[in-house]
Structure 1
Amino acid sequence: MPGSGRAQVSVFPSGPELGASLAALVWQEAGRGTGPGGRFSLALSGGSLVTLLSRELLRAPEPCRDWLWAYCDERRVPPEDPESTHGQYLAQLLSKISIPEKQVLSIDHTLPVEEAAADYSKKLKEAFPGQDIPVFDLLILGLGPDGHTASLFPDHPLLQETQKIVAAISDSPKPPPERITMTLPVLNAARTVVFVAIGEGKASIIKRILETEEENPLPAARVRPGHGKLLWFLDEAAAKELTGPVEQHSVL
């Protein structure tokens, strides 16, 4: 990966094999959680990841109750809206394993977008006392066909943000327009970051991110953990244009 020698690319035959290995990664990282009090902390992304991850984590839910859950970004919509990442995880996973509400850091959609971002930032700082930038044990990121990740979009001013750990966006090129997102300093502070991408529609942008040097890197290419691991989990369709070394996984 341009600018980083730490990226490891793993390719799986299909979504189910990828999902099982992603869950295994979560359990592995949870076993060495090093947050406050030894607590494991992870931040999730939405979209197809919700079903993929929820199905696998439900197989062994007990330890999940001790984890700290957060979101890499969120749309400013109520939980019952299908666009709500929190609402989708609540329906498919969190409500089924009785996670205490205080251990899930969610965004207050009732606040104006700037206030919602400030409120979420406050929650993160309270959950990670003494850390100017929260250090998550694991971040799971998706990838848009334009190279965006979380709610950080190409050529957007938020890519230059260095002071805030959470930012509001009211002009998202992808609806809905109002969103709250972790910034690059938080993404790059994590101990492990894994990108997950499935489908042929992501193949060309993945090749561009992983195998092309650019003067103005796409948002996903700017995720380069300063002291952590960077992983990419792809299915064969998403990886079809890559020419560099990858780790192939067989059917489970």
Structure 2
Amino acid sequence: MEVHTDIRVLDNEEKVTTELCSLVEYIANTAIEADDIFKIGLSGGSIPALLAKGLSQVKTDWSKWRLFFCDERVVPFESTESTFGVYKTFLIGNVPLTEDQFIKIDPHLTAEEAAKDYIQKMAVYFPPDCLPRFHLLLLGMGPDGHTCSLFPGHRLLEETSVWIAPITNSPKPPASRITLTFPVINNAEACIFVAMGSSKAETIKRVFVDKEPLPATRVRPMEGLLYWLLDKDAAALLKKGEVNNS
């Protein structure tokens, strides 16, 4: 079954921000209307700063939001490496979200224990005995094509038995992390990748032109929607007809 991929190329970071937050608003409000809750998975990289700039314009019932992490570094929240720490700095006080609405890891545990603990925390919000189905996952992509903490050539690419897996040998520091696995990622109602800057252009070409089996290429929500929001620099090596310009 072919997954429909909606690739949108925007002029600059400001327009990427506007497009991203417009999609988030629509998906959030659709979820709240249907399910009375909005379950979103967050990633780091450039995404927190974009959301900090644009989410204040979003009209939604913020009390219905529950914010999870697509991956997280097992470090203290005060560390600059903590994804929750970054979101706490960027979002709390900027939009009407409270710290309690973020489903956080226990940073005092080992990666293995933190992964098990996070599964238990997630299970409160999803029906039992079935894969979690997020309303939205916000994803980034590294220069090597990794997404979440799923790296090229790593055994976790083939993980199918758990929702959240630990990783203790991440090729990108810090080494100790937890990450969503592909069965959960590909069960999402919607996934949005954000990639900006000329440093991403070659990897974007590897995904869409060369169709290399990179981790990011394996994000294929079979019963959901897949969006890629690129700025012109990131899309520089794509040809007309390979994208839906927006």
TM-score (norm 1): 0.92
Residue in structure 2 matching 1:210, options 208, 211, 224: 208
Which residue identity is paired with 1:240?
A
Residues 54-203 of structure 1: matches in 2 within 5 Å? 54-60=52-58, 63-130=61-128, 132-203=130-201
Which residue identity is paired with 1:232?
W
Which residue identity is paired with 1:114?
E
Is 2:196 the counterpart of 1:232? no
CA RMSD in angstroms, aligned pairs only: 1.8
8 Å CA contact 2:22–2:58 kept in 1: the answer is no
Counterpart position of 1:7 = 5
Any gaps of 5 or more consecutive residues in structure 1?
none
Counterpart position of 2:242 = 245
| Deviation per residue, 1:209-244 (Å, 9 max, x gap) | 112244xx1100111001001110000000000124
Which residue identity is paired with 2:85?
G
Report the secondary structure of 1:78's partner residue: coil
Any gaps of 5 or more consecutive residues in structure 2?
none
Identity of aligned residues (%): 43
Aligned residue pairs total 245
8 Å CA contact 2:55–2:95 kept in 1: the answer is no
Q: Which moved more, 1:94-103 or 1:193-202?
A: 94-103
Q: CA deviation at 1:54?
A: 1.7
In 1, distance between residues paired with 2:206 and 2:64? 39
Cα 1:193–1:35 change in 2 (3 A) is farther
8 Å CA contact 1:35–1:137 kept in 2: the answer is no
Runs of 4+ in 1 over 3 A off after TM superposition: 34-37, 95-98
In 2, distance between residues paired with 1:71 and 1:225? 18
Is 2:18 the counterpart of 1:20? yes
TM-score (norm 2): 0.94
In 1, distance between residues paired with 2:242 and 2:219? 20
Cα 1:35–1:193 change in 2 (3 A) is farther
8 Å CA contact 1:40–1:68 kept in 2: the answer is yes
Q: CA deviation at 1:171?
A: 0.3
